[in-house]
Amino acid sequence: MKLYDAAVAPNPRRVRWVMAEKGIADIEVVTVSIPEGEHKQPAYLAKAGLPQLPMLEMDDGTAITESLAICRYLESRYPEPNLFGANPEETAVIEMWTRRAEMLVAVPFMLGVRLSHPAFAALETPAPEVAEWNQKNGLAALKVLDRRLGESEFLAGDRLTIADIVACVGIDFARIARLRPPEELTHLGRWLTAMRERPAAQA
C-alpha cells in the first residue's frame, strides 16, 4: 500500500499519527507537494478523484481519501492498539467525541488558518472575516473539551482514541495562525502536554 502525504497539512498528520501509534511500517509514504499543485495533476486525480490529501492506495489499486476513512481502514487491518472502540458502547462514545473534535475544533481551526495565513494565499482566496469567525468558534469550543478533560484523562475515556488525535492535530495546526488555547483551560493544557509528548505525535 501507499500513503500519499503532505507534511504540513493536518489531515495527513492524523493518518501518520495513527500509523505511528500502531507501529505500521509496511506502507510506503509518498510525499505530494501541495504548493506545486501535485495533488491537482491528472495522474493523481485519476486515482483520488478529488484534489485531496491524504490518499491511501491499496494493493489492488483501490484508492480512498478522507483521513478518518483511511484511519478506520487501518484499524481494521491493524487492530491493536484499539483506537475506535472495543465494544458497541465504547465505539459510540468514541464516535461522538470524534465528531465533536472534528466539527467544533478541527474544522474551524483549519478554515481559520487556510483563509487567513499568507502562506495559503496562493492556494485559496483569503477571506479574513470568515477566518476570524471560525477562529473565534474554535477557541470557544475548547471549553467543551476542557470540561470533558476535567472528568476523563482522554476525550473518550481512560485511553487514547482517534478523538484525541483529531482534536490535537486541529489545535496544533492553529498555531500557524498563532492561536493557542487560553491558559485558564488547565485540563486541556494537561492533556495537550501529554499528547505532544507521545512519541507518535512527532509522526
Task: Write out pLDDT tens, residues 24-78.
Answer: 999 999 999 998 989 999 999 999 999 999 999 999 999 999 999 999 999 999 9
Name, in order, each residue with C-beta under 8 angstroms of 56's C-beta and a sequence gap of 6 or more. 1, 2, 3, 4, 15, 27, 63, 64, 65, 70, 73
72 domain residue, yes or no: yes
The predicted pLDDT at position 118 comes to 80
The predicted pLDDT at position 105 comes to 97
Q: 197 and 152 in one domain? A: yes
Other CB atoms within a 10 A radius of the CB of residue 178 amount to 8
What range defines the domain where residue 192 resides? 88-202
Point out the residues of the chain with pLDDT beneath 50: none
DSSP character string of 45-84: HHHHSSS-S-EEE-TTS-EE--HHHHHHHHHHHS--S-SS
CATH assignment of the domain containing 182: 1.20.1050.10
82 domain residue, yes or no: no
Q: 132 and 49 in one domain? A: no
Q: 179 and 123 in one domain? A: yes
Question: Which ranges constitute the DSSP H helices of the chain?
Answer: 10-22, 42-48, 67-77, 88-100, 107-114, 128-149, 162-174, 186-196
The predicted pLDDT at position 133 comes to 95
CATH assignment of the domain containing 60: 3.40.30.10
The predicted pLDDT at position 16 comes to 97
